[in-house]
Structure 1
Amino acid sequence: MRKLNYCDEAICVYLVRGKEVPKSVMEASASASEPDRRTSKRSRKTSFGNSVNLRVSGTTSIYQLKMMIWEAFGVVKENQKLHKGSTEIGGDSATLADKNVFPGDVLWVTDSEIYENRDIADELSAQKFDSRQSEEGFRGTLLSSDVVPIHNFQDT
């Protein structure tokens, strides 16, 4: 249980291009690696695709992880098929702890290429809270309402 309660630890994610997952990635993904090993965050090119180390916590959601992968590799989150070993990881609201993803784990992702490419900024702007919510400090004032004040200016 303590293994699932982690914060700001590294996991490695491989972007696999092509139909077949290389045996080395499958084996690395199926077994746990060294969680205390320091690694670079930079994406690396390999013969079958790219890899990147991401800093995550046990409470990181699969959705958040997919957004990190989108940022790193440019693969739209709907196109991502995320795996640990031979098991596909689904359920965007689940956490990494829920899916037994530990520090130092190796995951791999493929691009289904079903959905069109779009800018990650579109997704991030959709996450923003409703702009109609007002700050507590402006409650009860015209600054927090949609009402346009009508001024009565009289000629003097």
Structure 2
Amino acid sequence: MLTALGASFRLYEHPGVVDPVEVCAALGVPLERTVKTLAFVTPEDRLLLAALPGHARLRYGPLARAAGIRRGDLSPADAGRLARAGMRPGGVCPVSSDGAALVVFDETVGGLGRVHCGSGRPDSSIEIDAGALVAAVPAAVMARIGDVPTASEPAREPV
């Protein structure tokens, strides 16, 4: 999909790992240079993708508000739901072939520079300019959905 949109990116293959720390080790990049995407489904079976810096913790309440649903209506997307969107667990990407998917980016993502994110598969990742990643999803919502550690705080384990 990124190719069809004319986005410049680089695809990296690596062992099929789903833990963000293992992905970073395989790629040789720090967690702060990644964008993780968490997948949920709404009560109407709409795919909801939350993209935030890899070292941030997701704030579920703000995500639900940005998506226009109640926090209690957030359910993790299972492998079957991800497959319908052309993705597999461990490789979720904010750019989806599911045209009805709602994508919410943390407001800090666009300014992260070159980042690595999921490709849709757990055995490959994409390196892309974060601004181009956000631009690839023109209907995306921007909101403060991540709790990003400051320079004086230690990085937290990803959720």
Q: TM exceeds 0.5? A: no
Of structures 1 and 2, the larger Rg is shown by 1
TM-score by structure 2 length?
Answer: 0.27
**Which is richer in strand?**
2
